[in-house]
């Protein structure tokens, strides 16, 4: 072998190693592309994304093209390296070529290009897609034959090559995508998207205003009492009932009776005439379903009933929307009347306060998958209604019952365990 042939083979070997790096980086970059960003860029008319999307529609053909090209290049490189090694070192050159070329291919043809492609997939995938489309057409017979044999083997193993169900995201996976969106989505928008996903896990019972906290108009009251209630009420829609909230006559909008109220012409008959037929919903209705139902029924407020048909509370469209976007205004009622911060870091909380509201306002993690109120959580933990002040621990929170009235825990002092002062350690726990 003369010097010119040796030089040509060395140049060809270098070119083959570069082609090996090309195929390796092409494979990794195409497989590392974010499918959802790829779809978005394709819809925006990005040419490189469009080419990559067409290639990824048939991943078996794409991988077949890359692997056929890569194997041809690597095998040819191994043959040339062996010829050159034998020329320089005789029979020992076979071992030298095998070891040396393996190291070179691993570093320059596999690890380095694949690492770069994994870190910068779009910068590599979009340009190389032009070459891959051409190669896919040139190598189509070989790729088709190899793909047919491969797909047959997959079917024998019980795998459907055309199944792309793995591209679909579950709710929990979508939740993770939203959380990991980084700078692409602001924190407020992330919370809104997560709030929409959370609607599927929540029911009307989780957010309703319980009947004992419901403000309504009792037709058995005199007009003076009703007028005082309406003048001081901060709600725009109120249930109208007679004697008991289970006897709901309708829902009245303040706008419908504002003029009568201002003129002092309000009567029981006028109230009844201004009422709109009440809208009843079961307590187990999922929030995302109820949101759609509000839209279909063109309603903004509904009475919640249990399995026996008794009214147990009410829910409004605003209550559901607040689960998505957060509270529209500061909940002064909850902050001022239900939760009272103390100087030692503890909080005195009304027993009727909703656990979800407590967690939201104080950034706590009280168990919210069982009872809805603090009173319910405590009585469930104690498995009885306490008749005296009791101290207990629930999770990472210490509680001291301060007041019991009408078979209910009316007031509780609560503090996280890490803030518990030594002098206020509870004397008993459950």
DSSP string, 305-321: E-TTS-EEEEEEHHHHH
* One domain for residues 55 and 107: yes
In a domain, 426, yes or no: no
Indicate the residue among 87, 122, 157 that finishes a domain.
Answer: 157
Structural domain ending residue among the three candidates 325, 359, 374: 325
pLDDT computed for residue 263 by the predictor? 83
CATH number of the domain that residue 349 is part of:
3.30.465.10
For residues 118 and 246, membership in a common domain is answered with no
> Both 10 and 51 in a single domain?
yes
Residue 179 lies in a domain: no
343 and 316 within one domain: no
Nearest to 331 by CA among 343, 341, 319: 319
Tell whether 177 is covered by a domain: no
Question: Is residue 70 a part of any domain in this protein?
Answer: yes
Q: Which of 274, 291, 325 is the last residue of a domain?
A: 325
For position 166, what pLDDT does the model report? Answer: 55
HSE (side-chain half, CA atoms, 13 Å) at 273: 7
The residues near 376 (Cβ < 8 Å, ≥ 6 apart) are 370
Q: Which residues contact 401 (CB under 8 A, 6 or more apart)?
A: 378, 386, 389, 390, 391, 392, 409, 411, 412
Whether residue 181 lies inside any domain: the answer is no
| Contact call for residues 206 and 286 (beta carbons, < 8 A) | no
131 and 207 in a single domain? The answer is no
Strand partners, 237: 253
Who's near 122: CB < 8 A, 6+ residues apart? 29, 33, 48
Residue 186, domain member (yes or no): no
Residues 411 and 347 in one domain: yes
- Pair (41, 145) in one structural domain: yes
Q: Give residue 399's pLDDT.
A: 92
Q: Residue 210 falls within a domain, yes or no?
A: yes
Instruction: Say how many domains are in the chain.
Output: 3
User: 308: domain range?
Assistant: 202-325
User: How many Cα atoms sit within 13 Å of 175 on the Cβ side?
Assistant: 11
Could you give the CA distance from residue 121 to residue 118 in angstroms, rounded to a whole number?
5
Give me 275's structure tokens.
């009422």
Q: Is 410 helix (H, G, I), strand (E, B) or coil?
A: strand
Distance CA 157, CA 161 (A): 11
Report yes or no: 125 and 30 within 8 Å, Cβ to Cβ: yes
Per-position DSSP letters for 50-116, written without gaps between them: HHHHHHHTSHHHHHHHHHHHHHHHHHHHHHHHHHHHHHHHGGGHHHHHHHHHHHHIIIIIIIHHHHH
| Residue 355 and residue 321 share a domain | no
Reading the chain (430 residues) residue by residue, the pLDDT tens digits are 566 788 888 899 999 999 999 999 999 999 989 887 888 888 888 999 999 999 988 888 888 889 889 999 999 999 998 888 888 888 888 888 889 888 998 999 899 999 999 999 999 999 999 999 999 888 888 888 887 888 888 888 887 766 655 556 677 777 777 777 665 677 777 778 888 888 888 889 888 888 888 899 999 999 999 999 988 888 889 999 998 899 999 999 988 888 888 888 889 898 999 999 999 999 999 999 999 999 999 999 999 999 888 999 999 999 898 888 876 654 444 444 688 888 888 999 998 888 888 887 888 888 887 888 898 899 998 888 888 888 899 988 999 999 888 888 889 999 887 654 444 444 444 4
Same domain, 312 and 361: no
Instruction: Answer yes or no: do 18 and 153 share one domain.
Output: yes
19 plus 117 within the same structural domain: yes
Residue 423 located in a structural domain = no
Residue 108: Cβ-neighbour burial (10 angstroms; 0-12, 13-18, 19+):
middle
Q: Are residues 25 and 148 in the same domain?
A: yes
Which sign does the torsion angle of CA 371, 376, 377, 379 carry? negative
CATH number of the domain where residue 256 is located? 3.10.580.10
**Measured distance CA(241)–CA(142) in Å, rounded:** 80
């Amino acid at each position: 072998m003369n010097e010119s042939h040796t030089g040509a083979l060395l140049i060809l070997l270098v070119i083959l190693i570069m082609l090996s790096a090309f195929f390796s980086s092409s494979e990794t970059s195409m497989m590392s592309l974010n499918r959802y960003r790829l779809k978005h860029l394709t819809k925006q008319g990005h040419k490189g994304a469009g080419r990559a999307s067409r290639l990824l529609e048939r991943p078996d053909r794409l991988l077949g093209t890359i692997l056929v090209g890569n194997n041809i290049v690597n095998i040819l490189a191994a043959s040339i390296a062996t010829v050159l090694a034998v020329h320089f070192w005789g029979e020992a050159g076979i071992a030298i070529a095998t070891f040396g070329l393996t190291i070179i291919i691993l570093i320059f043809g596999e690890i380095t290009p694949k690492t770069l492609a994994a870190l910068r997939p779009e910068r590599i995938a979009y340009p190389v897609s032009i070459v891959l489309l051409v190669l896919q057409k040139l190598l189509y017979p070989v790729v088709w034959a190899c793909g047919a044999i491969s797909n047959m083997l997959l079917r024998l193993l019980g795998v459907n090559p055309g199944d792309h169900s793995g591209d679909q995201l579950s709710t929990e996976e979508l939740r993770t995508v939203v959380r990991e969106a980084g700078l692409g989505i602001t924190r407020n928008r992330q919370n809104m998207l997560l709030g929409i996903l959370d609607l599927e896990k929540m029911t009307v019972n989780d957010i309703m205003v319980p009947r004992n906290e419901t403000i309504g108009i009792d037709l058995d009251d005199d007009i003076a009492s009703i007028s005082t209630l309406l003048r001081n009420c901060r709600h725009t829609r109120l249930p109208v009932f007679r004697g008991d909230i289970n006897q709901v006559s309708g829902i009245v909008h303040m706008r419908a009776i504002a003029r009568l109220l201002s003129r002092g012409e309000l009567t029981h008959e006028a109230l009844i005439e201004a009422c709109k037929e009440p809208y009843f919903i079961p307590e187990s209705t999922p929030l995302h379903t109820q949101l759609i139902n509000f839209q279909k029924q063109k309603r903004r407020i509904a009475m919640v009933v249990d399995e026996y048909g008794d009214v147990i509370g009410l829910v409004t469209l605003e209550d559901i929307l607040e689960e998505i976007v957060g509270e529209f205004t500061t909940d002064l009622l909850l902050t001022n009347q239900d939760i009272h911060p103390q100087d030692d870091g503890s909080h005195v909380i009304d027993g009727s306060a909703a656990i979800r509201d407590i967690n939201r306002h104080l950034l706590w993690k009280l168990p919210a998958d069982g009872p809805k109120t603090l009173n319910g959580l405590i009585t469930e933990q104690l498995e009885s209604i306490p008749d005296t002040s009791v101290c207990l621990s629930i999770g990472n929170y210490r509680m001291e019952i301060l007041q019991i009235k009408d078979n209910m825990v009316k007031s509780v002092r609560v503090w996280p365990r890490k803030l518990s002062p030594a002098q206020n350690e509870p004397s008993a726990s459950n």
